[in-house]
Structure 1
């Protein structure tokens, strides 16, 4: 009775690897940002809960990395096909962004327990993450221009994913730099602004074209409906990067005898952060309205639902950063509310993802998923 069991299990495992795509790293993005936001809540045990979620996220990231490497070795043809796919390739940006949440966790959770060693490890991992983000941010657009098939009417916010990774690394630089000696913080600070430049201007250009596409061709198909939340990501992360880099700048500039410039960098962080945060508020409202419309007409579950978490999470982080800098309690109160919403969305999407993974649905590639790049549960 067990004659066909092992071959069947091996075949099933093979299909999981064959159909594994970078989309899965969005799970680590959403889980990681919630872990980082929970300690902001004025609740007993919030820090411990966030740290536990961070450790869980570390395990998830390692598992997904192993699966990615196995797929690359065992199924090289399918791996190369991912680079040519007009949607799946965009999710390569989720790899450095997922890693960034773990690096930031070394500062939030590691430094209080392990001290300077955690900050040094964060610095070293950040260097790799920043390089990976810059490579993805250049490679994927190059493939878009030379190998992939795109059209304006098929454009969605997914185009932003490979680009946003660099500004996520920029925000991380602003978080790590204050924990390092000045000599070590200096390259992170300046690199952070360069990474910001590699991402935010291009993201704003993409958002501009996306508005034109939405006006001419209306909303994306239901399988990609949640992608309406994705433009919130670069707006929020751009605001967060300016705020955190602006906070880290005075100490570094003073050590270089450029202390007179410190108020300029801090002011740029506040002004730029407020402007991008305000734009993000408009886009958050728009994405909420359009997603509500999709819910009424039909919104099939797929891994794209994780796009509800990370953009909202970084917007929450930017809200808290504005509250710290301006000392306005309204920002902090709004941040608490957003964390509650984020936690609710995470539980919803995580439960649906676990169900789909255990049932095997999320490792299948039906025709609709081949077009969108998002394995889904019907």
Structure 2
């Protein structure tokens, strides 16, 4: 217990060696790419001057961050192979491997939104090629991490959090990207992406709904997670919103492909199913957004400590924003568009706050040292600690006394 209490209460000293930053680098840093990327894609939807240019600037910044984080992750794999292997067996850090393809997906989508107007078809072809890699990586992580959960890792219902969703959701994010890219390609390429997108949707959404079902049971039996895990309550919004967005965007790509295949009579039905399914998932997402907002307000009254998990506020809300615009365009209902505009502003304000605090923590080394100490104490990173909550709502670790300040 002494080590654990030091983890929470001892001031963190500033890092002095880049090697320590590399050793302390874990995949959850890619959630910053997810949040920055989704804001770059939704910001141009705001009917204000300069938002398109700001969105493109964030897209370029996101590419720099992604390359930097990839270099750090590769360096850690080479210089600290034992720590890298430990990530695969860690019950929380391993979940954030799903953030890597999801962060890349936002960059790929940017090649359609920002690259095609500048570079034409070449940008669309690059997006297609990158998407193939992203889709394969998403499917591999969506299979590998659950396999490790079942065979190597230690999990329990009372310690479950919504981070279980992260490796699974990557495939449906790739599915939504397929629907966005397909209209910019020739018919043959669009056909391959369309059907691949539906397969990726099937690899993700049903499993995500299963996990959400178990999560509801966990919350009912063991109450809310501790404050350090508070941001995880927003994560289920991600698969619901990205599932809705995938159905809408894949549906928009259907007519040209089906017409070329002589299946034109099915077009109306498939597009309609996509729209209705998208609206239903959007509605479920709206319920979860309301629930997550209420729980966050409850956390704020008791204190919500900052950690990298705060990026969990941004991407789910951002992709719900994108889904709102997609549903609004298809239904031609202004309500969804107005909701999207309100959410874009909210996401932008959250991004500014979380970015500033992340930059401060990275500069002073505290976020990297948090990772190192979580490895040393074998506690989950970023959403630390792994907490079981009795009916009283007080956090305990492995049956120990309640932690102070939780």
Same topology, TM > 0.5: yes
Selected match of 2:236 from 221, 231, 235? 231
Taking the aligned partners of 1:270 and 1:189, their CA distance within structure 2 comes to 16
1:372 correspondence with 2:380: yes
Q: 2:214 corresponds to which residue?
A: 209
* Structure 1 counterpart SS, 2:298: helix
1:336 correspondence with 2:344: no
1:74 correspondence with 2:79: yes
1:135 correspondence with 2:140: yes
Q: 1:117 corresponds to which residue?
A: 122
Selected match of 2:49 from 40, 44, 48? 44
The Cα of 1:374 is off from its aligned counterpart by: 1.1
Q: 1:250 corresponds to which residue?
A: 255
The Cα of 1:251 is off from its aligned counterpart by: 0.5
Q: 2:401 corresponds to which residue?
A: none
Taking the aligned partners of 1:367 and 1:79, their CA distance within structure 2 comes to 14
1:285 correspondence with 2:282: no
Q: 1:59 corresponds to which residue?
A: 64
Taking the aligned partners of 2:89 and 2:300, their CA distance within structure 1 comes to 31
Q: 1:347 corresponds to which residue?
A: 352
Query: Number of aligned pairs?
Result: 370
1:158 correspondence with 2:163: yes
Selected match of 2:302 from 294, 297, 302? 297
* Structure 2 counterpart SS, 1:316: helix
Selected match of 2:188 from 183, 191, 194? 183
CA separation of 1:232/1:11 partners in 2, compared to 1, >3 Å: closer, same or farther? Answer: same
Taking the aligned partners of 2:383 and 2:148, their CA distance within structure 1 comes to 22
Q: 1:12 corresponds to which residue?
A: 17
Taking the aligned partners of 2:380 and 2:294, their CA distance within structure 1 comes to 22
Selected match of 1:148 from 139, 143, 153? 153
Q: C-alpha deviations, 1:229-273, integer Å up to 9, x for none?
A: 000000000000000000100100000011111111110111100
Let me know the Cα RMSD of the aligned residues. 1.6
Q: Which has the higher contact order (CA 8 A, sep 6+)?
A: 2
The Cα of 1:109 is off from its aligned counterpart by: 0.2
Per the normalisation by structure 2, the TM-score is: 0.89
Q: 1:5 corresponds to which residue?
A: none
Q: Is the 8 A contact 2:374 2:381 kept in 1?
A: no
Runs ≥4 residues deviating over 4 A: 367-370
The Cα of 1:14 is off from its aligned counterpart by: 1.4
Selected match of 1:270 from 259, 275, 289? 275
Structure 2 residues without counterparts, runs of 5 or longer = 1-13, 385-404
* Structure 1 counterpart SS, 2:91: coil
More helix by share: 1
